């Protein structure tokens, strides 16, 4: 059974994505900051802080996942204005820690890093994928940085990485 490690699992998206993976026959290892898994899905839960590379490495050594999805982030533009330093730290440095841990422990693991439409600036027309990334808030800039780091690790070390620039989504359990 293929194994997927989902970080930021206690968040809004985690609750939906984990169910999707379980329903499709994957073994899920869910990780987040708190002691307890927020959801009741049949997944293994590990407390993890993406600012702690040794913590990340030990989890990758223990489970050797085939896939890793990073949802962990300071995920609000408004909050990012209040704590810009923490936003850059979690969203960018946290991304380097994950990339480094993958490179060292499970270099064949395929990973997905969730970026944001906030990497663009608003236009008076629908955005195009190849529009310039000109974010004008700390959250958007942190996500551009994370995406650039992921590209660098893919190009320099041959890691298999997908990045998204997701637009806002909503549904049950959203906090926004
Ligand atoms: N929800 C949306 O509409 C939307 C849109 C575009 C992009 N995104 C991105 O998708 C991802 C998931 O979004 P969400 O709405 O579920 O966010 P969320 O805020 O609900 O969940 C984020 C999770 O990350 C965890 N986290 C924060 N810092 C951490 C750390 N240092 N180590 C480990 N875990 C940590 C939090 O505890 C939380 O459970 C985020 O990266 C977000 O930026 C979301």
Q: How many CB atoms lie within 10 A of CB 22?
A: 15
Report which protein residue has its CA nearest ligand 1's atom 42. 75
Residues 12-22, mean pLDDT to the nearest whole number: 97
pLDDT, average across residues 47-67 = 98
pLDDT in tens, 106-154: 999 999 999 999 999 999 999 999 999 999 999 999 999 999 999 999 9
134 by DSSP, 3-state: which?
coil
User: Which residues are within 8 A (CB) of 52 and not within 5 positions of it... i.e. 6 or more apart?
Assistant: 97
> Considering its fold, how many domains does the chain have in total?
1
Task: Determine, yes or no, domain membership for 171.
Answer: no
**Which residue minimizes the CA distance to atom 4 of ligand 1?**
168
Judge whether 115 lies within some domain: yes
In a domain, 173, yes or no: no
Residues flanking ligand 1, CB < 6 Å = 7-8, 10-14, 32-33, 48-51, 71-73, 75, 90, 94, 114, 116, 166, 168-169
In angstroms, the CA 40 to CA 134 distance is: 40
Mean pLDDT (the chain, rounded): 97
Residue from 94, 93, 74 nearest 139 by CA: 74
- How large a percentage of the chain has pLDDT more than 90? 95
- Mutate which of 18, 19, 69, 72 to test ligand 1's pocket (most atoms within 8 Å of Cβ)? 72
Q: Which CATH number is 29's domain given?
A: 3.40.50.720
Q: What is the pLDDT of residue 59?
A: 98
Instruction: Assess if residue 92 is contained within a domain.
Output: yes
The C-alpha angle with vertex 176 and arms to 71 and 49, in degrees rounded to 5, equals: 30
3-state secondary structure of 76: coil
Q: Is the pLDDT of residue 16 over 70?
A: yes
d(CA 18, CA 9): 8
- Is residue 162 situated within a structural domain? yes
CA-nearest residue, atom 32 of ligand 1 = 49
> Would residue 175 count as lying in a domain?
no
Instruction: Domain of residue 100: give its range.
Output: 3-166
Helices (H), 24-91: 53-63, 77-82, 84-88
- pLDDT for the residue 140: 98
Query: Each residue of 85-94: pLDDT tens digit?
Result: 999 999 999 9
95, part of any domain: yes
Q: Write down the pTM of the prediction.
A: 0.97
In a domain, 91, yes or no: yes
């Amino acid at each position: 059974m293929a194994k997927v490690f989902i970080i930021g699992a206690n968040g809004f998206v985690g609750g939906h994505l984990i169910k999707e993976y379980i329903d499709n026959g994957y073994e899920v290892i869910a990780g987040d900051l708190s002691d307890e898994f927020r959801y009741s899905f049949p997944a293994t839960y590990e407390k993890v802080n993406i600012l702690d590379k040794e913590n990340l490495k030990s989890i990758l050594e223990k489970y050797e996942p085939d896939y890793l999805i990073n949802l962990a982030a300071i995920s609000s533009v408004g909050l990012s204005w209040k704590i810009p330093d923490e936003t850059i730290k979690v969203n960018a440095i946290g991304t380097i820690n994950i990339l480094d841990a993958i490179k060292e422990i499970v270099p064949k693991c395929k990973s997905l890093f969730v970026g944001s439409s906030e990497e663009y600036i608003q236009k008076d027309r629908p955005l195009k994928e190849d529009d310039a990334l000109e974010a004008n808030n700390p959250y958007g800039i942190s996500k551009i940085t994370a995406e650039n780091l992921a590209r660098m690790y893919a190009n320099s070390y041959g890691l298999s990485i997908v990045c998204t620039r997701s637009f806002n989504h909503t549904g049950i359990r959203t906090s926004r």
